[in-house]
Structure 1
Amino acid sequence: MRQSTASTVLIAVLLVGGCGVGPQDAASTATPPVTAPPATTAPTPTGTAFNPTDIAWLQLTVAMTERLLPVLDLVPARTTDPAWRRTAAQVATTRRAELDRARRLLADAAAPTTNPHEGHDMPGMVTAQEMTALRAASGQPFHRLLAGHLRAHLAQSVRIATSEQQSGIQPATVALAAAVVQSGTADLARLDHLDPA
């Protein structure tokens, strides 16, 4: 019972900010309720179990990455700056590889194929309104918007991946979290060099 409660609390921390049903105001302090996955483990084909934190982290990572990639896809049409184009291409390549690994792990865990975060705006996710603003911008205004969204995504990705490293149990999932921390930290450093905040 204590372990189940601890898992539920941890998942609430992991999913900091929770799921909203609409765009989130950056100044808002309200935290919507968090729905945790069932407190059970799912065996992989090799018998290694996933705990609820593993599943919750993989699902959130997929949702966040799926929201980021369309932003990065805008870059070639919105700026001619080679440094921004190169950075966006590098981040997109890394994130697509991590997304593929996360999806495979969710399949191994026999987790639901539906995205539990579909339609929710969470920390590190670009909203529909923000995408509209990005599509309307170019040059330096686009760079400023892109830098802000990319920094928020990377920081949140590193934060939740660190939680998975500390509390996940499935080796391949924890290894993916370590890779996300490493790549996200490197990308943040690259972004800071390109666009100091």
Structure 2
Amino acid sequence: MSIGSTKLIILDRDGVINEDRDDYVKSSDEWIPLPGSLEAIALLNQAGYHIAVATNQSGLARGLFNINDLHAMHSKMDRLLKPLGGHIDSIFFCPHVDANGCDCRKPLPGMMKEIALRYKKTDSTLPLTGTPIVGDSLRDLEAGIALGASPHLVLTGKGRKTVDKGNLPEGTQIHADLMAFANALLEDRI
């Protein structure tokens, strides 16, 4: 659950923190937090955890929204977290589509490598060993486990469909939502 002395948790965004949309979340008006997700982040912050968000945002490459729209979504998230005593420490995003062949688009581990570089205190070949990664899709989990992260699937967003498809990484823990994950972590059940 930590890299060196930093207690870190990596969260996917759409379907974990906020509602996911088949037509992409394209504006701050469309960015709607899932029930209890912001409270869960605040709870984790108050327990000393750093929260990094790792999110694929191919809507940028598709021209569905621009970087200012993305910043507005994240500003809204920050604004809503503040009165709860929560915050996001860092946000990493991939602006590409699969055809771009980048290393940062999940399930590839490029974003996770960047997170490890930002937070790591070790030269380990698996610098995210034990760090929880929470997502609602297989690609979220695969990106983290490539560097040793501990996979956690939430049933919000695409989570139920992901469970139904099977083939989850070994050791994947399943939680109803982000608050259930936070409660399990803080109760030392993880």
TM-score category (smaller protein)? under 0.3
Structure with more of its chain in helix, by fraction = 1
Tell me the TM-score normalised to structure 2 length: 0.27
Which has the greater radius of gyration? 1
Tell me the TM-score normalised to structure 1 length: 0.27
Structure with more of its chain in strand, by fraction = 2
